Structure 1
Amino acid sequence: MITLTTENFDERVLRAGKPVLVDFWTEWCPPCKMIAPVLEEIEAERGDRLTIAKLNGDEHPEIVRRYGVLGFPTLTLFRDGEIVERIVGARPKRRLLADLDAHL
């Protein structure tokens, strides 16, 4: 899983060769902690078609503002530098995969 920063966001997400699911999260967010192991499982299963990256919203508020993230966790799927899916809040793995697989 990639850790994103303000400095590497454009290179790692907008110029990526495959879709990137960005997990906007914070340390103080219980649902963020609940969804983390689910994202690790998805990465293990779909890593050949999807990159999963995490961005700490408290440490990089300028990226949070740029993409209009209003709550945590927000999962944003980028493909070819564009947002193709946005999921707000924790969801079960099966539901996340249903939302993501349509774009992979």
Structure 2
Amino acid sequence: MTGDDLRRMRLYCNRTSEEMAKKISVSLSTYEKYEAGLEQPKASHLLVLNLYCRLSLTPLLIHIRELINYYNPYKDFKNDKTNSNRISAKQKHHKPEPEESEHE
């Protein structure tokens, strides 16, 4: 959620920045940084603000589901361990390519 989204949500539910900040127990300056896009609020704060403004959580839940589906290939859910198909750092697959001058 962007700062513009937060601002639109606040204006839609006819709340002040002070009220929004108080609801999630942050300072006014912190909340204003969220709206300005300088900082990101916690997911729990976004949830509280959505409920405070009586907005539907369905779009948020759909987005979370899309993220879970997107990242599913990176997790081995049979045993809830990190995906065993990931490249190991020990295998040194990410070595930089040799300089062209070394080939001459």
TM class by smaller structure: under 0.3
Larger Rg: 2
* TM-score, normalised via structure 2 length: 0.23
Bigger proportion of residues as helix: 2
Higher relative CO (Cα under 8 Å, sequence separation at least 6) belongs to 1
TM-score if structure 1 supplies the norm length?
A: 0.23
Structure in which a larger fraction of residues adopt strand: 1
